[in-house]
Structure 1
Amino acid sequence: MSEPKTLPPSLRGWAQRHVSEIVTARDASQSRPKSQVWELRNTAGARHVIKVSPSAAFYRRETFAYRHAAIDFERAQFAPLVKDFVILAATAWLEAPILERAFFHGYGRQLTSEEKHVPQCLIVLDAVSCLAWGPSHRDDEVTARGRRTLTG
């Protein structure tokens, strides 16, 4: 395990400009020499995580999904955590399986065996929802996603 690192003053200043005054900063790095991750809490008690990429190449790789994926927040709702993976599994991960591996690498763990069953069941409900909503709203993309999911 590497020695805990102190949040550098320049990074603390940047963080305070973006998340308000920082009350605590905890080293949350993995036990790799160049890992630089901190968990911050601000005066409101909100938790933020800052990760410093060691190089521009790492930054591009780690932010690839933010630049190339779109999540439909219009249909978001309170639900089990794994339900969020359903739309990804029915879209981006089908088209580029490397994104699924990268996602779970960044997520920090694989799904448990129990959690793996939930998206498989919910993806069918999502497909039916797509087929009900898509045609009535003339959304060909959503309709096609529903058909693609059910027909394989």
Structure 2
Amino acid sequence: MSDTKALPRALRGWAEREIGVVNDVRDASHPRKNSRVWELVRADGCRFYLKIAPEARMYERETLAMRHATPALGAGRAPQLRASSAEHLALLTTAVPGRPVKELPLTAAEEYEAHRQGGLLLARLHAAGDLTGRWRREAEGALGAATQGADKRLEDAGDRLTPAEHTLLRNLAAELRRVGPLPLGFIHGDAWPRNLLWAGRAAWIDYERSRFAPVVQEFVALACGVWADKPWLRTACFSGYGRELTPEERHVLKCLAGLEAVSALTWGETHDDPHVTARGRRTLDRLMTGVFA
């Protein structure tokens, strides 16, 4: 959490017109330059969050999610939108009880239950929204969009990859272009443990990457991250989700993991982030040895 990002006076005034006088403002931004989030606390102790989206598309996605999809999760399972400002790309939302599961000292049973409930909520989210017209076209074209630039990413990776790794990743990208119809839905788009809150029950936050897409795309971050260390959390998630991935979805997940791996390797080294680099390398090693699932 940073202490260097002050809430603009105009935005504080806008927020107070919506929720009343704010007694305390706390910077709740992530440690990156384009994250601007503040926690607002009224005199009665009620908490809210004011977020400036990094770009217009993310503002539009998060606004759409909160107006048309997240209510399906149930009360207290996602933030509620109190107001939005297209001029400032700002969203004012209620606070949700809990802390990110990655920050909590949970027992194995508690962590299992948090991820089980997380999967249950993702199932509700995937079934929400109006999957017609523009949104269906966007969902049906999502895998094609994901493969765009794959060759350029492999070229940028250069000698970070061995010849055998280059071949594998090119083959996975080519296979992704030949995939048939898949189950579609409204996905969270950033389903990491940092966005899964727990306080005896689960909630998902941060919907700026949400969109209509093949639902298998939801699980790439988990498969390349926490599931590699704790495979039993995969079991927990799909137990709550209500079904396993189909064989075709499992294959697509593997192909998408290849794209994620090369992106993580390149981004991590370019931005001097050893954690992201290590995640990309581990995913690639799992793909090369055939243990990715």
| TM-score, normalising length: structure 2 | 0.33
Tell me, yes or no, if structure 1 residue 89 matches structure 2 residue 129.
no
Matches within 5 A, 1:51-90: 51-67=51-67, 69=69, 71=72, 73=74, 81-82=114-115, 83=117, 85-89=119-123
In the alignment, which residue of structure 1 is the partner of 2:5?
Answer: 5
Displacement of 1:3: 6.0
Q: Distance in 2 between matches of 1:12 and 1:88?
A: 33
Q: Distance in 2 between matches of 1:42 and 1:24?
A: 7
Q: What fraction of aligned residue pairs are identical, expressed as a percent?
A: 30
In the superposition, relative to structure 1, how do residues 106 and 19 fare at CA in structure 2: closer, same or farther (>3 Å)? farther
In the superposition, relative to structure 1, how do residues 90 and 9 fare at CA in structure 2: closer, same or farther (>3 Å)? closer
Moved over 4 A (4+): 108-112
More strand by share: 2
In the superposition, relative to structure 1, how do residues 64 and 44 fare at CA in structure 2: closer, same or farther (>3 Å)? same
Structure 1: state its 5+ residue gaps. Answer: 125-148
In the superposition, relative to structure 1, how do residues 104 and 19 fare at CA in structure 2: closer, same or farther (>3 Å)? farther
- Whether the 8 Å contact between 2:69 and 2:125 is mirrored in structure 1 is no
In the superposition, relative to structure 1, how do residues 7 and 89 fare at CA in structure 2: closer, same or farther (>3 Å)? same
Displacement of 1:121: 2.6
Structure number with greater CO (CA < 8 Å, separation at least 6) is 2
Structure 2: state its 5+ residue gaps. Answer: 78-112, 128-182, 196-205, 207-220, 247-293
Displacement of 1:36: 1.3
RMSD: 3.9
> What is the aligned length?
123
In the alignment, which residue of structure 2 is the partner of 1:120?
Answer: 238
- Whether the 8 Å contact between 2:125 and 2:188 is mirrored in structure 1 is no
In the alignment, which residue of structure 1 is the partner of 2:23?
Answer: 23
